[in-house]
Homo-oligomer: A and B are copies of this chain.
């Protein structure tokens, strides 16, 4: 089997773990999401992208002229969609897929200028190349082209796009103005991957130059924002936190992690480690979502994590998974896989409806009653068919199509399972079979199917939330496993050997530290890797805004009407805050202490997984619920 990893460090790269590309998800939770992605989302994405004019832009660029339609970054929608197609083609070759891929690739190739340049907005408007890199997204689009091209080569061996991407990259190496930076990072990580695929060192050098060139306030300012909005305030090596536009910050950090890996740059890796930790400690929503500020789609200050004004762009979650995965490869530390898992289930997945045909760009963690019906902050209006800026849907498509690659790694000593799904791993002469009902069920059964006759280490992540996790292995049953670490067993395995994890998936309450004041006095329900929420659809007799818990006991529930039968709701006893309309007037009272709410009740509270909200009647929703 060819190595169709998404990220493929060179043999000499400074990484602790390497991808184990031969993992294929073939059942369970993620296979179902991947099926909807393949059968609904990707075909629909092709139509929507066609309607947006993005294909027409390429056709016109190929013909040498015409009016550009859509955003300056419209090309990137095509490239991300092509990347998804490439991964799907590698998974299940079909004539339809091949034809769609072939047609779009040919279009891209035809649109490329003779010298390798390609950006239909610039080509069709006649604006000078690289004259407005702060806003033009020329290199951002180039990066997505390169990623699609690498995916095509790795997944199917098809080199047509790689040839286009390589010619563009060669042109950039030759003709890009010195010190040029794109306002929207993305090309950095793409150039490194193209280097990994082709061995052309100049691509890595260009990426390295761009990482080091950033943070010196050389990009022109935009609107009311300072240079931080585009990560141009502080050099990445000196930064202590993430700042600015969240998607840009994630893509830049992913690219920097790639550069650090390929150049062995420990200073850069240390800086990224520091920034990642600060992000997790102070700027990450419970869902893994990133970006609390609508204005500039950016990170707020530490602990500025208001649920209802969360931005949490779906693309930022995709970028976070990409960065964390690269940090996981670099270090082998389970915290990175913890965040990947949290983010995948609770920040990426909410970006697409269960039906696969509606999308959230912004993911609020709370929606109240009474919002203006035309408030364009997306959560109050539910998922949308598509977006004028359609970066998020195809980003989810390509991640879901390539998700298999993020689950397992290998190193000199063995294999490491980070994320769990039913499937078969083929890694050299090791073949493992994983069976699990995860995330609904914490039981993960890992069976050795083929193995060399020499000892190797099987490592399996015990998530940080998995208090009470146990392992049944060859050395005993019910052995406690430490959350936030890897269970490791080194031995000479034999076919049929089995390790069974019990990750203690059961509902639990989660509270926030005092500095996270927006959650003061409240708790959230989680169950395994899933963050839960209260949605109005399950509470016909009381407004979600007035619900509170009446105890800490949580129980699993039976399937709910309108949600897939697999979804396990969680029930708790609750009460209802009495909101006295006759109080009228100001919502503030003179009081020597916080007001004690008056209660009605009892009511049954039904929590559902946050990713599954907004799939029934739209209404108020909250992740945090008061205890009193």
Contact = CB atoms under 8 A, between A and B. Distances in A.
Interface in A251-283: 277, 280-282
Choose among A309, A464, A510, A546 the residue with the greatest number of B CB atoms under 10 Å from its CB: A309
B627 A590 contact: no
A286 B588 contact: yes
A375 B244 CA distance: 8
A127 interface: no
A286 B300 CA distance: 23
Nearest to A380: B301
B590 A510 contact: yes
Interface of A: 224-229, 233, 241, 243-244, 277, 280-282, 284, 286, 293-296, 299-304, 306, 308-309, 335, 368-377, 380, 464-465, 467, 508-524, 545-546, 548, 552, 577, 579, 583-595, 597, 624, 626-627
A520 B523 contact: no
Q: Sorted from nearest, which 3 A-B pairs have the closest CB atoms?
A: A226-B374, A301-B371, A552-B592
Contacts of A370: 241, 282, 301-302
A593 B552 CA distance: 7
Contact of A508 (B518, B587, B590, B597): B590
B281 A586 contact: yes
A58 B282 CA distance: 50
B509 A593 contact: yes
A522 B594 contact: yes
Copies of this subunit: 2
A514 B579 contact: yes
A523 B229 CA distance: 34
19 contacts: A226-B376, A228-B375, A280-B586, A294-B295, A295-B376, A301-B370, A302-B368, A302-B369, A306-B309, A309-B309, A509-B592, A510-B588, A510-B590, A511-B589, A511-B591, A511-B593, A513-B579, A519-B594, A520-B522
Contacts of A595: 511-514
A505 B255 CA distance: 59
Given A512-B588, A514-B597, A515-B546, 9 more contacts: A226-B372, A226-B374, A233-B373, A302-B368, A302-B369, A303-B587, A304-B371, A514-B626, A520-B594
A299 B380 CA distance: 14
A523 B595 CA distance: 9
B523 A593 contact: yes
A343 to B, nearest CB: 12
Contact of A594 (B277, B521, B591): B521
A372 B517 contact: no
Given A306-B308, A518-B518, A513 B589 contact: yes
Contacts of A376: 224-226, 295-296
A585 B304 contact: no
A374 B233 contact: yes
A139 B264 CA distance: 63
B284 A514 contact: no
Nearest to A584: B281
A298 to B, nearest CB: 8
A185 B485 CA distance: 60
A545 B227 CA distance: 26
A586 B303 contact: no
Q: Residue among A233, A508, A548, A585 with the most chain B CB within 10 A?
A: A585
Contact of A509 (B282, B517, B591): B591
Contacts of A508: 590
A587 B374 contact: no
A296 B377 CA distance: 10
Contacts of A517: 518, 522, 624, 626
Contacts of A299: 372
A302 B241 CA distance: 33
Contact of A518 (B306, B375, B586): B306
A479 B192 CA distance: 81
A511 B308 contact: no
A590 B244 CA distance: 30
B522 A375 contact: no
A231 to B, nearest CB: 11
A377 B299 CA distance: 12
Contacts of A586: 280-281, 284, 464
Contacts of A300: 308-309, 371, 375
Contacts of A226: 372-376
A310 B513 CA distance: 23
A581 to B, nearest CB: 9
A458 B91 CA distance: 86
A513 B375 contact: no
Contacts of A369: 301-302
A339 to B, nearest CB: 8
Nearest to A548: B514
Contact of A301 (B301, B375, B512): B375
Nearest to A625: B517
A374 B243 CA distance: 10
A588 B228 contact: no
A505 to B, nearest CB: 13
A250 to B, nearest CB: 16
A387 to B, nearest CB: 9
Contact of A511 (B281, B306, B552, B588): B588
Nearest to A581: B281
Contacts of A552: 592-593
